[in-house]
Structure 1
Amino acid sequence: MAAVNSVSFSTVSQFSDRRSPVPSARSLASNFDGFRFRSSVFYHHSGVRTSSFSSRLVIHCMSAGTDVTTVAETKLNFLKAYKRPIPSIYNSVLQELIVQQHLMRYKRTYRYDPVFALGFVTVYDQLMDGYPSDEDREAIFQAYIKALNEDPEQYRIDAQKLEEWARSQSAASLVEFASKEGEVESVLKDIAERAASKGSFSYSRFFAIGLFRLLELANATEPSILEKLCAALNVDKKSVDRDLDVYRNLLSKLVQAKELLKEYVDREKKKRDERAGSQTANEAVTK
């Protein structure tokens, strides 16, 4: 695989230090490290066809051969699948995201799981909140996941399945999944077993965000509950805490960037209207 510079979530820049009225898409992408969790902007995917995990869950593993898709090929596949222009404030961050997810996707230990899917769907819907067209937003999602040689429908269905399950749970039942039977419980047990065995589980930021989403929907966001859930899943809580802090920062920065962008667009529109009005007045005087 060609050498690729990994994009860090940890770099933070202060928008207030910039002279430009709007943070550039490039600067936002390179500082992809901080959104604040807000329940009101989470999407609940209604109207999506449901399916059991037993029939839908597909395991994706990196090929053991040398014919591995490169980052450049993944990005090219995305551009081929979605050919319409994407506003730069969204496009630059999407390009950074797809590089990161490509590196996760083609790790030797990578294996698709619904918690990872829930985390990515949560990030994507937060990022694309406010996108001009709902239809285009979903088309971009489809192109993005297909570029990684995965199934976008499976991501949506599995994310919805986990969300519905989490809403029916309490703090206690959520962390006691190992003693219960069910589709989601089986998924969590499988994750716990793989995480307990070195080399069989690939932790990621999307996984951490998926965990938090489960806790949020179960109204169980106390730090002690997260600690118990991480212990039950054999996942390092320090890594989860770190990545959730990164994600909260990312949310706040993107919200700020969108607000500044809106102000900038409104201001430019007002200037154009004023210039058009002045030109019309001048033409009337000339006549």
Structure 2
Amino acid sequence: MAAVTSSFSFSTPTQSPSQRKLTVSSTRFLSSDSDAVRFRFSFSSHCVGVRTSNSVSKLAVRCSSSVSDPLPTVSETKLNFLKAYKRPIPSIYNSVLQELIVQQHLMRYKKSYRYDPVFALGFVTVYDQLMDGYPSDEDRDAIFQAYINALKEDPEQYRVDAQKLEEWARAQNSSSLIEFSSREGEVEGILKDIAERAGGKGDFSYSRFFAVGLFRLLELANAMEPTILEKLCAALNINKRSVDRDLDVYRNLLSKLVQAKELLKEYIDREKKKREERTEPQKTNEAITK
């Protein structure tokens, strides 16, 4: 059986005239001798503000590691993941997860990194989109647990915080979403803390997961107008240009994920048909013999 490999990237793909393209950035290779679906997936992060702050939310404290802890290497994080989840993972998912965990390791152990629920919402959104259609729901959850634990964070907190923000966003509209600073509440407090840190009064490390988290809030609040995003970024002290760029890539990623899974399904169906065609003459001969 020909290998199906995968990786995903937000970078611009190169293109060969002899290759049929599918980009995330991606390249689709289909030939008479072998079939492979290949993707490259890469998240980068940007630092916004590096000064310390005394205003640390309870949600952030639970996921933050002690400064005295030695920083693990990328290899150690990957090994922790493999130790925690020992079952085989289909290559189209495994290659992506291996690259993704390397990129998130680099975000996780930046000096300016501090967990926040919007980041968690962004990662959960990306993970669920990536693993949508995985053969086993139970395994998909187990992989999520192993992945977050390998980064020495709390997978349950990721899920709880993501759900909390989703429920809050569903109750918002275009106006209330950007007026969080004038209201009291748990999620409002989370957003205020982010705005304070991103404004230079504490540690804040912007990343594409954070941008996806913002996108998810807007989506659930049915507030997709560009002006709303601009006002929300201003309220959070986030660079809108960076968010726009990352959201364009994320939207492209979603469409390419759909195409990737369609390619995989086509490949599996084609291989199944070939096996059936090979076994049919054998069945006919056995019937004649009998």
Q: TM-score, normalised by structure 2?
A: 0.83
Counterpart check, 1:9 vs 2:10: yes
Q: Does 1:206 align with 2:209?
A: yes
Q: Does the residue aligned with 1:12 lie in a helix, a strand or coil? A: coil
| Equivalent in the alignment of 2:115 | 112
Which residue identity lines up with residue 20 of structure 1 in the other structure? L
3-state SS in 1 of match to 2:204: coil
Deviations 1:61-112 (A, max 9, x none): 4554582111000000000000000000000001111011100000000000
Greater share of strand: 2
**Structure 1 CA distance, aligned partners of 2:179 and 2:153?**
31
Q: How does 1:180-191 map to 2 (within 5 A)?
A: 180-191=183-194
- Paired residue for 2:243? 240
Work out the CA distance in 2 between the residues paired with 1:271 and 1:144.
Answer: 36
Number of the residue aligned with 1:20 = 30
What's the C-alpha RMSD, in Å, of the aligned pairs?
A: 2.3
Q: Indicate whether 1:270 and 2:273 are aligned.
A: yes
Distance between the aligned counterparts of 1:112 and 1:277, measured in 2? 57
**1:15 partner letter:** L
Alignment of 1:170-189 (within 5 A): 170-189=173-192
| Runs of 5+ unmatched residues, structure 2 | 1-7, 15-20, 44-56
Q: TM-score by structure 1 length? A: 0.84
In structure 1, what is the equivalent of residue 264 of structure 2? 261
From the superposition, tell whether residues 8 and 113 of structure 1 become closer, same or farther in structure 2 (CA, over 3 Å): same
Deviation string 1:8-47 (CA, Å, 9 cap, x unpaired) is 622335328644269746x31x2558xxxxxxxxxxxxxx
d(CA) in 2 for partners of 1:136 and 1:228? 40
User: 2-side partners of 1:210 and 1:130: how far apart?
Assistant: 22
User: Shift in Å at residue 113 of structure 1?
Assistant: 0.4
Residue number among 208, 227, 249 corresponding to 2:252 in the alignment: 249
Does the aligned pair in 1 maintain the 2:80–2:150 contact within 8 Å?
A: yes
Q: What corresponds to 1:156 in structure 2?
A: 159
Residue in 1 that maps onto 2:17: none
C-alpha spacing 1:32/1:66, structure 2 compared with 1 (3 Å)? closer
For these two proteins, the number of residue pairs brought into alignment is: 260
Equivalent position amino acid for 1:147 in 2: A
Query: Does structure 2 conserve the Cα–Cα contact (< 8 Å) formed by 1:74 and 1:147?
Result: yes
Tell me if the contact between 2:172 and 2:221 (Cα under 8 Å) persists in the aligned partners.
yes
Bigger shift: 245-254 or 8-17?
8-17
Are the counterparts in 2 of residues 75 and 98 from structure 1 also a CA contact under 8 Å? yes
Note the residue ranges of structure 1 that are not aligned, 5 or more in a row.
1-6, 34-53
Query: 1:146-205 CA deviation, whole Å, 9 max, x = no partner?
Result: 000000000000000000000000110000000000000000000000000166210010
- Which of structures 1 and 2 has the larger relative contact order (alpha carbons within 8 angstroms, sep 6+)? 1
Structure 1 partner of 2:223: 220
For 1:92, the equivalent position in structure 2 comes to 95
Distance 1:188 1:23, change over 3 A: farther
Return the alpha-carbon distance in structure 2 between the equivalents of residues 23 and 197 of structure 1. 50
Q: Which one-letter code corresponds to 1:152 in the other structure?
A: P
Q: Post-superposition, which runs of at least 4 consecutive aligned residues in structure 1 deviate over 6 A?
A: none
- Structure 1 residues 19 and 55: CA distance shift in structure 2, 3 A: closer
Q: 1:200 and 1:143 mapped to 2: Cα distance?
A: 27
